[in-house]
């Protein structure tokens, strides 16, 4: 409890706070993480459905996964308490930006106004030939007729606006994330295993620039040694406690 109080004090005194989030923050909304207990990678080989060369060779595997797993789970998800607290911290504290590895759009649904999506979003699907955009619902309908789905305008192949394995991150998005990281005086990392580049780089850069760092994650991370505060527990439990302590101060 002392750590929660201390983190709340940091939130309160921060003049430019940034949150960095990973799959763990959406786990309590019902979206499985990739790694760890119940992780998607235990069931689905990421090399087959999340790798760009395999997607270009045979997109039908990814679209099967989209139709059977991704779409049904994303259709019904709602932001949880942890997403809502981060949105609330824009109002009651100086949280300026959420940098996320997630592709589920739940921070925006919760009301966060400045979200940097490092790995893109599954909510937008576009034609690789003419760039025409589609919603997930539209592509789900197209998939009922044909897999892989093709652009209704030009017949081109469709893809989600996410970064596949084997692809580089969008440099403008990455720069924005680094700019925000370098401006912050307090970084709160939530629900990330902090093992994937540039995830690990964000807390490192923040610390190098003199920011304070708190890590909230169910399991330990390789960057815990660097943090001023570590809470190994569920985000949906810890973030509301931080918020409560903020109000009581």
Site residues (vs ligand NAD, CB under 6 A): 22-24, 26-28, 31, 33-36, 39, 101-104, 119, 191-193, 196, 199, 217-219, 234-236
Report in angstroms how near the CB of residue 31 gets to ligand NAD at its nearest: 4
d(Cα 119, Cα 116) in Å, to the nearest integer?
9
Based on CB atoms, which residue is closest to ligand NAD, 4 or 151? 4
Q: Is 35 exposed, middle or buried (0-12, 13-18, 19+ CB in 10 A)?
A: middle
Report in angstroms how near the CB of residue 76 gets to ligand NAD at its nearest: 14
- Angle at CA of residue 89, ends 88 and 94, nearest 5°: 145
Report in angstroms how near the CB of residue 206 gets to ligand NAD at its nearest: 16
Based on CB atoms, which residue is closest to ligand NAD, 68 or 219? 219
**What are the C-alpha distances in Å from 189 to residues 46, 59, 90?**
24, 33, 16
Based on CB atoms, which residue is closest to ligand NAD, 99 or 199? 199
Based on CB atoms, which residue is closest to ligand NAD, 197 or 210? 197
Report in angstroms how near the CB of residue 84 gets to ligand NAD at its nearest: 14
Report in angstroms how near the CB of residue 37 gets to ligand NAD at its nearest: 8
Residues annotated as catalytic are 119
Lookup: tokens for 24: 């763990």
d(Cα 15, Cα 37) in Å, to the nearest integer?
36
Lookup: tokens for 94: 């100086």
Lookup: tokens for 62: 């990814």
Closest listed residue to residue 214, CA positions, set 236, 240, 238, 195: 238
Based on CB atoms, which residue is closest to ligand NAD, 27 or 151? 27
Lookup: tokens for 159: 């893809």
Say which DSSP state 32 is in.
-
Query: b/e map of 231-240 (b: 16 or more CB within 10 Å)?
Result: beebbbebbb
């Amino acid at each position: 409890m002392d750590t929660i109080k201390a983190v709340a004090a940091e939130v309160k005194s921060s003049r430019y706070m940034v949150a960095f989030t990973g799959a763990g923050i959406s786990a309590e909304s019902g979206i499985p993480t990739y790694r760890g207990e119940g992780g998607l990678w235990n069931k689905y080989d990421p090399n087959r459905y999340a790798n760009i060369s395999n997607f270009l060779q045979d997109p039908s595997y990814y679209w099967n996964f989209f139709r059977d797993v991704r779409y049904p789970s994303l259709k019904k998800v709602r932001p949880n308490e942890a997403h809502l607290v981060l949105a609330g911290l824009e109002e009651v504290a100086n949280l300026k930006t959420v940098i996320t590895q997630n592709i589920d759009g739940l921070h925006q649904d919760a009301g966060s106004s400045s979200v940097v999506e490092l790995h893109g979003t599954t909510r937008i699907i576009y034609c690789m030939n003419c760039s025409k955009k589609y919603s997930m619902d539209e592509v789900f309908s197209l998939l009922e007729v044909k897999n892989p789905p093709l652009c209704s305008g030009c017949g081109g192949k469709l893809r989600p606006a996410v970064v596949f394995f084997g692809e580089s991150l969008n440099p403008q998005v990455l720069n924005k994330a680094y700019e925000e990281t370098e401006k912050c005086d307090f970084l709160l990392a939530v629900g990330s295993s902090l093992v994937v580049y540039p995830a690990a780089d964000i807390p490192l850069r923040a610390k190098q620039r003199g920011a304070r760092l708190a890590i909230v994650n169910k399991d330990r991370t390789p960057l815990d040694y660097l943090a001023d505060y570590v809470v190994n527990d569920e985000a949906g439990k810890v973030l509301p406690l931080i918020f409560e302590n903020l109000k009581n101060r």
